[in-house]
Amino acid sequence: MIRPNIYLLPGILLLSFVGMSCSDSYIDNVQRGGWYNYEAGLPELRLSTTGYYSQVGIPTIEVSGDVVYGGLIYKQNDEGNIQADIAVEITLYDIDTDELIAQRSFSQALIAEDNSVIHSQELFRFNETFEVEPGEYEVVVSVTDESSGKQMVRTNETSIENINDGIVSISEVQIFGKENAVRGANFVPVTTYDVPANLDSLKFMVQINNSTGTPINIRSNLKKFVADTSVAWPMSIQDYPRSSIRFQGIEYDEFEIIQSGSRRINQNGNIFIEYSYGQLELGNYRLEVFIEADNDLKTEGGREFGIKPAFYPAIKTTRQMAEPLAYIMTDKEYEELMSIKNDDSLKVAVDRFWLSNINNSNLAEDVISLYYTRVEEANKQFSNYKEGWKTDLGMVYILFGAPWTVNDVFNSRVILSYTYNLEDPERNFLFRVSDIRGKYFPFDNYILQREIYYYTIEYRQKQRWRTGLILTTDL
């Protein structure tokens, strides 16, 4: 354990824990950030909201949003560059009364010098703060692509407790990340559950409001949970054993405490605590914060997050391009590919795989582009405790593309249909949820109901990818 640094600012106490091993069971008040909610053709908006008291004691809601450059429509402007125009609107409602509390809107021109931006996962970030009264709020944010007229709307809830009630309260936990390899990089809000590994320096901020008049003890744990990291099995072999980690997905009862810390605070008022961590391994984590007074637990909070590969959900590195080839390679081909450790040699092997099968560089380029577009889209649509492309849903999406229809049955089964004939066993794929989704298991871990007769259709689809016929002939 490393003793935290203490910084006194006007009206607040800031504690900085730089690296901080006590075990606690599940905590109730935990946030997980948002999901991508990707929909083809719509602007991509990622949203994070937090309620806290400002340095001068004013209840404040902070709204942080990310808009993906590649999800917009671009036109050439008068200077010869390409430009997308967006309109952002933020609306706050009081949950108890449905009253409109605040509304703010602005427009933004996003300008790029070349067409590569249409595939970019770079982000336009905005951050807005609102002064409010203590209470519970619904935050609605919309982003409209003014070229297409299409709109994405995201909704979050946040709350601020009344600190004059003689209680101890804890705010939502915010995550900020910084890419140390980028000169002059600043910490930026992380708006999703997923934290790409290129953000190799993380900072967590939480506010504790103490108006009890008594000292409090603050304890913290950083836990890493046991979770499945494997690539989806083929469609025609047996289902995952129910007792396996593949079936369970993530085990909240099995974890390692990476770091822990404690501190006694004698002051009343608004206390900001900062936890800082260097680069963490890939996996699923929870930062827990416990507030105690007179040996009793007064309140608790936490933030769960997943460290994903660098630049996630985008596919940029050679190894990121090699790994998803599991779905169209033979077992022997894939084993040989993954045994290559040198990145330059791996790139040569990936290129050789595509060109030796397709034998036409232009055709191969189009097939490669389609394949990795689907991998990225699978990451955005099916990401959970592991990368979206590794899930059963992601595998089917990559192989067969977007389904014609999706049928959700009682939130426990999903059917992806590639036909309007729902009785066709070779064009309808049934997925069952492996656990009851809820507060304590937030992931939609849908597992394909595998069938032996899928062997032929899966084999045909692999051959279409390997020969380039996927561009003209689908399922």
Domain range for 356: 318-471
Q: Distance between CA atoms of 324 and 295, rounded to whole angstroms?
A: 51
For position 37, what pLDDT does the model report? Answer: 84
Give per-residue pLDDT as tens, 401-436.
Answer: 999 999 887 778 899 999 999 889 899 999 998 866
For position 165, what pLDDT does the model report? Answer: 67
Q: Distance between CA atoms of 400 and 418, rounded to whole angstroms?
A: 8
> Widest CA span of the chain, in angstroms?
76
Q: Of 107, 136, 159, which residue is a domain's last?
A: 159
Both 67 and 117 in a single domain? yes
**Which CATH number is 169's domain given?**
2.60.40.3880
Residue 174 corresponds to which tokens in the numbers above? Answer: 């915010």
For position 266, what pLDDT does the model report? Answer: 87
Both 167 and 292 in a single domain? yes
What tens-digit pLDDT sequence spans the chain (475 residues)?
A: 333 333 323 333 444 434 433 334 457 788 888 888 898 889 999 999 999 999 888 999 999 999 999 999 999 998 989 999 999 999 999 999 999 999 999 999 999 988 888 888 899 999 999 999 999 999 999 999 999 999 999 999 999 988 776 788 899 999 999 998 888 889 999 999 999 999 999 999 999 988 888 889 999 999 999 999 999 999 999 889 988 999 989 999 999 999 999 999 888 888 899 999 999 999 999 999 999 887 787 889 999 999 999 999 999 999 999 999 999 999 999 999 999 999 999 999 999 999 999 989 999 999 999 999 999 999 999 999 999 999 999 999 999 999 999 988 777 889 999 999 988 989 999 999 886 666 667 787 899 999 999 999 999 999 999 999 999 987 7
**Which CATH number is 115's domain given?**
2.60.40.10
Based on the structure, what is the number of domains in the chain? Answer: 3
pTM of the model: 0.91
Both 153 and 169 in a single domain? no
For position 163, what pLDDT does the model report? Answer: 79
Both 110 and 68 in a single domain? yes
Both 308 and 381 in a single domain? no
For position 436, what pLDDT does the model report? Answer: 63
Both 11 and 44 in a single domain? no
Give per-residue pLDDT as tens, 15-62.
Answer: 443 443 333 445 778 888 888 889 888 999 999 999 999 988 899 999
AA identity, residue 300: E
Both 59 and 169 in a single domain? no
Both 154 and 166 in a single domain? no
Both 172 and 28 in a single domain? yes
Both 26 and 167 in a single domain? yes
